Amino acid sequence: MRYFSQWCRASMTSPNEILAAREQRLQQTVQLAKEHNVVCVKANIPGKDKRTPSSYALVRYFARQCDYGQWYKRFNDGADGCYITLLADGDALKLKQCVAQTEENHPLGRFVDIDVWQRGESKSLSRGYMRRCFLCDKPAFVCGRQGGHPTEELLEFIDCKTEEFFRRTVKDACIKALEAELNLHPKFGLVTPLTSGSHPDMNYSMMKAAHGCVADGVAQMFVDGLYGRGNVYRTGIPVGVETEKNMLEVTGGRNAYKGFIFVAGLLAAAFGRSLTTTRGTSAMWDIVRRDTADIEMGKTDSFGDMAYRRYGIGGVKEHARNGFPFVKHVAENVTDDSRSMLKQLVYCAGNMDDTVMLKRAGDMRSFRLLQQKFGTLDTTDGKAVDALDKECIDKGISLGGSADVLASGIFVKILMQQFASV
């Protein structure tokens, strides 16, 4: 899908502005190179507008791939496009070899320039060969000077390949997160590889079968967030509705991941949008807060809205309006270890207003008593964990909302590991 025309600024950057920004970048880099090896990651974008959505995503992605222990990173943005500067110790020649391999071997490597300055030098290290054009086998500088390809054709190619790669990257991250949550056992009434818990109409195979279509929808919301404009919540609604429909077709009408689609889809869109901001990925939480500030509460027949009208509990909508603080907590604290995931799930159940747990508990008093049990549960005490798991299954309790937050936190953590945070 072509997004560039939606992002073009009203007035293109002038050639003189681009040249001035390029000269400023060179001077800054040379100054840094007086005392350190310097790595500069910049998108290779043709035309007068260098600041396209793809350029921001490419720079932040490759800056992360080139993170060989650099202790300083800075994001810069200007008329010549965005770039990230990294300072590194060690052997600059070996570093140049590593980044050159990345440029040549990565599917998107042709779309970035990763330059290395050796300490004390005023010029970047040479690759030792000429890079090829995106679309043909001629040297890139020859096509550039001769105008071998229309700018729009080159931008179309960059956008299509970049979107394709990041769509697949986000889908894979989503599936990995869903599988991590699903494979956790025990899980207090939730479906696991060993039990259907409090869900006799669901099982492990059915849940896993839904992962592909759910991840497709979440990846689409990421793409729309990255390349689009406007409110990420409102623009994501049609995709979310379609994703729910596809999920229900796979599960035979059973609601396996409706909450996760809302939470992870909104976060994916906000994450994509955050890549185009000067703050980077740290802006995603504020984007969620901003774009859900006017979300309607208590207006539908859903149990979550009913709980808001009856108890004043906002459920997942209130969590969104607050910027998903529990997802943020999970993302910042969870590890790949199952004990860590269990700890985060219990933390959410003991502290978060999980409307699925409230519905299963039956009333507010029972819900609060159950929350207290999770709040004081020692997850290292296997007998206590098994006892509460059995109690949840016997009483038909399920921590659906907490599970959605756990999976979404894992998902966000995986995404954070793919892109530079600056």
In the chain, what percentage of residues exceed pLDDT 90? Answer: 81
Measured CA distances, 75 to 11, 84, 278 (Å):
24, 5, 7
Mean pLDDT throughout 171-177? 98
Mean pLDDT throughout 143-148? 71
Strands 112-117, 72-76: pairing kind: unpaired
With 80 as the cut, is the pLDDT of residue 1 above it?
A: no
Angle at 353 between CA 349 and CA 354, to 5 degrees: 60
Backbone angles phi, psi at 61, to 5 degrees: -70, -50
Distance CA 24, CA 317 (A): 45
More confident residue, 153 or 6: 153
Residues 6+ apart with CB under 8 A from 335: 341
Read off the pLDDT band of 89 (50, 70, 90). Answer: confident
User: What pLDDT is attached to residue 71?
Assistant: 63
Nearest to 304 by CA among 400, 188, 182: 400
Please give the sequence-ordered ranges of beta strands (E in DSSP) within 12-111, or none if there are none: 37-43, 72-76, 83-88
Contact present, 292 and 266 (Cβ < 8 Å): yes
Lowest mean pLDDT across 107-111, 115-119, 125-129, 227-231: 125-129
- pTM for this model (two decimals): 0.94
User: What pLDDT is attached to residue 69?
Assistant: 63
Given the structure tokens 């965005």, which residue do they identify?
82
Reading the block at residue 181, the tokens are 């949550």
Dihedral over alpha carbons 79, 81, 87, 91 (to 10 degrees): -120
Nearest to 374 by CA among 187, 198, 193, 197: 187
Contact present, 177 and 403 (Cβ < 8 Å): no
**Residues 250, 255, 258, 260, CA torsion sign:** negative
Given the structure tokens 């954070």, which residue do they identify?
416
Q: Where are the alpha helices (H) located in 50-91, listed in sequence order?
A: 53-65
Domain boundary assignment for the chain: 4-149, 163-416
Q: At what angle do helices 151-182 and 211-227 cross, to 10 degrees?
A: 140
Contact present, 357 and 397 (Cβ < 8 Å): yes
Reading the block at residue 80, the tokens are 């010549």
User: What pLDDT is attached to residue 141?
Assistant: 72
Q: pLDDT per residue over 14-50, tens digit each? A: 889 999 999 999 999 999 999 999 999 999 998 888 9
Mean pLDDT of the chain: 92
Read off the pLDDT band of 68 (50, 70, 90). Answer: low
Nearest to 380 by CA among 326, 422, 338, 334: 338
Residues 6+ apart with CB under 8 A from 317: 292, 295, 297, 304, 305, 308
With 60 as the cut, is the pLDDT of residue 180 above it?
A: yes
Distance CA 324, CA 264 (A): 10
Contact present, 70 and 87 (Cβ < 8 Å): yes
